[in-house]
Each structure stands twice: as C-alpha cells, then as structure tokens.
Amino acid sequence: MQQVEFGKTGLIAARFGLGCMRFPKRQDETNQLVRYALDYGVNYFDTAYIYKDSEVKLGVALQDGYRHKAIIATKSPVWDITKYDDFEKYLDEELIRLKTDYIDVYLLHSLGSKNYESILKYDGFTFLDKMIEKGKIRHKAFSFHGTNELFKKIFDSYDWEMAQVQLNILDEFQQAGLDGLVYAHKKGAATVVMEPLRGGHLIMNYPTEIDDLLEKYPTKRLLIEWAFRWLYSIKEADVILSGVSTLKQLQQNLAIFEQGEYDCMSKEDLLLIKQVRGIFEKRNAINCTSCGYCMPCPYGVNIPEIFKLYNSVAMMSNHFIDKLVYKDSIIPSGNGAEKCVECGICKVHCPQAIDIPEELKKAHAILTDR
C-alpha cells in the first residue's frame, strides 16, 4: 500500500482511506473489517458525528491495541451549532463515542456557503485553535460541497491543514474539482478525496455502452478499476476514501489500490475516461457547455453552476449531494434560479440557444425537490 506524507501535518497516511459511513450492522464484522484494514497498512479512517453509530463502532473496533495505529478523522455537525459552546459539546461527545482522548484530524463538516457563515458567526476557527491547545484535536480540517470559487475563499480564510473534496471521473470540473484539490495541495495542505464512486452510483447504474467501450479497449479493466486508477494517478490526491460494508468489498478495493501509482494513466487511458464521461453526459438534461457567455446575470443568478448541478442530477437520476450544494450553497449566496426575473439578457448570448429562463425554472424545481 502506497504511503504519503499527509500535507504539513507530519502524519504518514496510506493512500486508501476507509470511509466508515457504511459499516456492517454487526460489531464483530466491523471489528474484522477495521482490523483487517489496519493489518494491511490502511491507517486513515473517516467518520462523522452524523454517521449514525459509525463513531461508536469505530471506537470499539480500535480497542485491543489498534487505536495508536489509526488516524481518526471525524467531523463536527456544523449545521447543529447554535452557539460557540456547542462545538466543544459535540466534540466531547465524539471523544466518548470513539473511546479516545484525542482526534487526529478534526473536520468542520460540509462547508458550503450556509455552514461557512455559521462557523464565522459562532467563531469556529477560535474553537479549532483552542482544541489544539487543549490537546483534544491534533489537526484542523474541513470537508466541502460548493462551488470552486467558494472553496478557494474558504481555504484562504484560515490555516487549514487538510481539505476534503468530492472528486471522481465525472466531477473533474464540478464543485471544488480537480483544480480546487491541486490549489489546496500546492498551498501545503493535505487533501482527501471523497465520493470516488459518487456513493456507488457510478458503478451501479451506468449505461451499457460503457461496457462495450471498455471491452474494446486493449487493457481490460472494470469501470471501478478505471475510476480508482484515475484518482490515484493524481499526485495531489493524498488519501482516497472508499466506503465499504463487507470484507469482500474491502479486499476488492485494496487489490485495485495495490497497483496505485502516480501518473499511471496514459494519454490513451485519459481519452478513454473522457469517452466514458461523454457517455454519462448523454443523460444530461441540457446542452450547457459552461462557456459562461451568459454571465454575469444582473440579478446574480449563477447560470452555468446551476446547469451543471441540473445535469449532474439527471445523470445520476437523483443525486443528493448536487441538491445539497444548490440548497446550502448557491441559494444562500444569492445566486439561485429563483432570482431570475426573466429579463432575457442572458438568452441572446447563449451559443447553444438554450432558453435559459425556462430551463432555470425546471432546474430549480428538480434541485429543490427532495
């Protein structure tokens, strides 16, 4: 298992990180999974206050001498913070759940525009600094869902030691994107990739045309192998999380990561991934190329970002995270489709002849639908 220096934290992490959101129901199976991973060389475990009983299960699994081998990363439920003292109250609860007296990497969870405002309002940065002083946490980090622009703004507003972003073969240009990941890495932060398979949807419900394409390619690999390979080829991606529920899934993932090397994708391989993405994009709701010629809208509507999310939801037929980005980031920033007054200024600039005001209405309905 490839190991990396984890940004400026001084930690050494395996490139494969275990996402702990989907642990097995039984504690003995969780123990087996976690300890198998640790014995194999995996040491990064990503959980959160909000992941049901995940912290409790991880805490139990790390008993019997395993705790000191693990890097525990867990997250504060930022949306439930209503005063400064709440931050430490939740952290203390997490320490009890995890049966530990410190958290290696502590994240403010899912910073989009709404949650970011909340941490500014309740002084989340002071909280992180104080908890480091008290020894309750070792490193300060955040996970992110929002636009690339917002990612850079949040990243530059504090001395973060790690940033966790969504990235996969479909999301190179979505949210923080590959550009955001590289940005954080260049500034010395560790980076963690989440949603490498978009919650599994990428390999569960994909067009059959993709199998035809992969079968014709000289190097035979499954879509899951290509998806992980594309990620571990990126040298700025320090740890790549994968959430597994069974030992078999873990072993399958580890076998793929055994071949993990930087820059392992040839030009032809990258072209193949582009073709795969192109097939997914045929499911797009709208032919927007994100050229930005329709911008700026005098009423603040972020047309290309809204259409990206609209297409992303259409591609995966109900992607929860895209809706979250819209509701928690785009709308609170004053850039939602509901701001459109149908003035038509944007329409004349669109080379794709998209009826922008009409499509914005549809996008808004889909993105605010549960």
The amino acid present at 337, given as its one-letter code, is A
| Opening angle at CA 249, ends 248 and 254, nearest 5 | 100
Tell me the C-alpha distance between 106 and 72, whole Å.
8
Q: Which of residues 107-146 bind ligand SF4 (CB under 6 A)?
A: none
Q: Residue 358 contacts by C-beta under 8 Å, 6 or more apart in sequence?
A: none
Q: How far is the CB of 348 from ligand SF4 (least distance, A)?
A: 10
Q: Is 367 in the site for ligand SF4 (CB under 6 A)?
A: no
The answer to whether the CB of 66 falls within 8 A of the CB of 34 is yes
- As a whole number of Å, the CA-based R_g of the chain is 21
Q: How far is the CB of 296 from ligand SF4 (least distance, A)?
A: 8
Select 255 or 295, whichever has its Cβ closest to ligand SF4. 295
Select 73 or 288, whichever has its Cβ closest to ligand SF4. 288
Tell me the C-alpha distance between 273 and 233, whole Å.
13
Q: Give the binding range for ligand SF4 (CB under 6 A) out of 18-26, 165-173, 212-220, 351-359.
A: 351-359
The correct pick among 17, 19, 112, 357 for binding ligand SF4 (CB under 6 A) is 357
Q: Is 320 in the site for ligand SF4 (CB under 6 A)?
A: no
Beta strands in 92-177 (DSSP E): 103-111, 137-144, 162-166
Q: Which of residues 293-312 bind ligand SF4 (CB under 6 A)?
A: 293-294, 297, 299, 301, 303-304, 307
Q: Which of 71, 98, 94, 40 is nearest to 247 (CA)?
A: 40
Q: How many residues bind ligand SF4 (CB under 6 A)?
A: 27
Q: Is 345 in the site for ligand SF4 (CB under 6 A)?
A: yes
Tell me the C-alpha distance between 111 and 76, whole Å.
11
Q: Is 354 in the site for ligand SF4 (CB under 6 A)?
A: yes
Residues that bind ligand SF4 (CB under 6 A): 288-294, 297, 299, 301, 303-304, 307, 340-346, 349-350, 352, 354, 356-357, 360
